[in-house]
Amino acid sequence: MSDTARGTSRRYGTRPTMKDVAARAGVGLKTVSRVVNGEPGVTPDTERRVQEAITALGFRRNDSARILRKGRTASIGLVLEDLADPFYGPLNRAVEEVARSHGALLINGSSAEDPAREQELVLALCARRVDGLVIIPAADDHRYLAPEIAAGIATVFVDRPAGRIDADVVLSDSFGGAQDAVAHLIAHGHRRIGFIGDQPRIHTAHERLRDYRTAMAAAGLPVDESWVSLGPTAPERVRSAATAMLAGPQPVTALFAGNNRVTVTAVRVLAGHPRPVALVGFDDFELADLVNPAITVVAQDAARLGRTAAKLLFRRLDGADDAPAGWRYPPG
């Protein structure tokens, strides 16, 4: 089979290239490129011939080659903990919308809260030469990213700070939120307040625990260590932690849940509990105002976090090179 015959009788899985289009239209390769990219310098008649060949062959530009040649992939990576976590849904969408408005595609991956997996994923994205990265970090050491950032991959961290590296960070002000949450419970007369949070390795968990202690101390209330539990947000762990706090001689009368995963399980436990127990949860979730028993939530505007981070990323890609900065937002 001759080269120019490829367009006429194509093998399955073989696609026509600009060369095939050029041969069929009887023009040069570069002219096809010009037509495909809408570049000027092509007469209407030539353009028509090329378009006909494109349609006849079913040609579609191979962006892999284009990317190699141009050096830009027009894609960004988003690494978060779990694509199925409803907290990240709006964030994910916000990032995608900003990417889309800049003509970029979004490559998505879950770290499953595993630092090794985060690194593997991030480096795979770097090998793909994504233009930029939005990372909700699971790891606390990101020095492995330094060469990539130096090589030009813009990087923005969201929700949790970067570890041991200088980079842009967009955080929500969980400090104020956590304080308000605990203060809210204290104002309602609670004295024995439990805190159930995420794994201590995770920055926000650490931060919220600290704020819980600060708020308790500010009200002159003691904290019994049996009222504090950090760990994975798996339902079983949260359930047993909550059950333990609700039992015993000095049971808590209120709970502060460190994130939406914890809150959901806590609601379930409290729904089956004989005494009423107050609950304040970090992170809003759908219909939070209508669940029974009633709960209070500290809303975080996840969409804004994502939008801010993505916009910052594209600002960097457009050439902004001021020093990396931290951005804090109050709870939504």
Partner DNA sequence: CCCGCGATTGACAACGTTGTCTAGGGGCTA
Partner DNA sequence: TAGCCCCTAGACAACGTTGTCAATCGCGGG
Tell me which residues touch its own copies (CB under 8 A). Answer: 12-15, 58, 60-65, 67-68, 73, 75, 82-86, 89-90, 92-93, 96, 100, 105-110, 123-129, 147-148, 150-152, 264, 267-268, 271, 285-287, 290-292, 303
Q: Residue 95: name the closest of 111, 107, 110 by CA.
A: 107
Q: Does residue 234 touch DNA according to CB under 7 A?
A: no
Cα dihedral value 227, 213, 91, 332, nearest 10: 120
**From 38, 40, 249, 272, residue interacting with DNA (rule: CB under 7 A):** 40
Beta carbon nearer to its own copies, 209 or 257: 257
Which residue is listed with tokens 């047993």?
Answer: 240
165 binds, among its own copies, DNA, none (CB under 5 to 8 A by kind): none
43 binds, among DNA, its own copies, none (CB under 5 to 8 A by kind): DNA
Contact 309, 133 (CB under 8 A): no
Contact 282, 260 (CB under 8 A): yes
Q: Does residue 46 touch DNA according to CB under 7 A?
A: yes
Q: How far is the CB of 211 from DNA (least distance, A)?
A: 46
Q: How far is the CB of 195 from DNA (least distance, A)?
A: 49
Q: How many residues bind DNA (CB under 7 A)?
A: 29
287 binds, among DNA, its own copies, none (CB under 5 to 8 A by kind): its own copies
Cα dihedral value 208, 212, 214, 217, nearest 10: -170
Alpha-carbon distance 327 to 305, whole Å? 10
Q: How far is the CB of 83 from its own copies (least distance, A)?
A: 4
Q: Does residue 68 touch DNA according to CB under 7 A?
A: yes
Alpha-carbon distance 99 to 311, whole Å? 9
Q: How far is the CB of 105 from its own copies (least distance, A)?
A: 6
Q: Does residue 183 touch DNA according to CB under 7 A?
A: no
Cα dihedral value 230, 198, 244, 282, nearest 10: 130
* Integer-rounded Cα radius of gyration of the chain: 27
12 binds, among DNA, its own copies, none (CB under 5 to 8 A by kind): its own copies
Beta carbon nearer to DNA, 6 or 160: 6
Q: How far is the CB of 116 from its own copies (least distance, A)?
A: 13
**From 7, 24, 31, 309, residue interacting with DNA (rule: CB under 7 A):** 31
85 binds, among DNA, its own copies, none (CB under 5 to 8 A by kind): its own copies
30 binds, among DNA, its own copies, none (CB under 5 to 8 A by kind): DNA
Q: Where are the beta strands (DSSP E) in 56-146?
A: 75-80, 105-110, 132-135
**From 5, 8, 30, 293, residue interacting with DNA (rule: CB under 7 A):** 30
Residues 6+ apart with CB under 8 A from 130: 73, 75, 76, 77, 107, 153
Q: Does residue 36 touch DNA according to CB under 7 A?
A: yes
Specify the stretch interacting with DNA by CB under 7 A; choose among 41-49, 172-180, 294-302, 318-326.
41-49
Contact 29, 45 (CB under 8 A): no
Alpha-carbon distance 183 to 189, whole Å? 10
Alpha-carbon distance 43 to 35, whole Å? 10
Beta carbon nearer to DNA, 31 or 92: 31
Contact 233, 262 (CB under 8 A): yes
Beta carbon nearer to DNA, 69 or 275: 69
Q: What is the DSSP letter of 255?
A: E
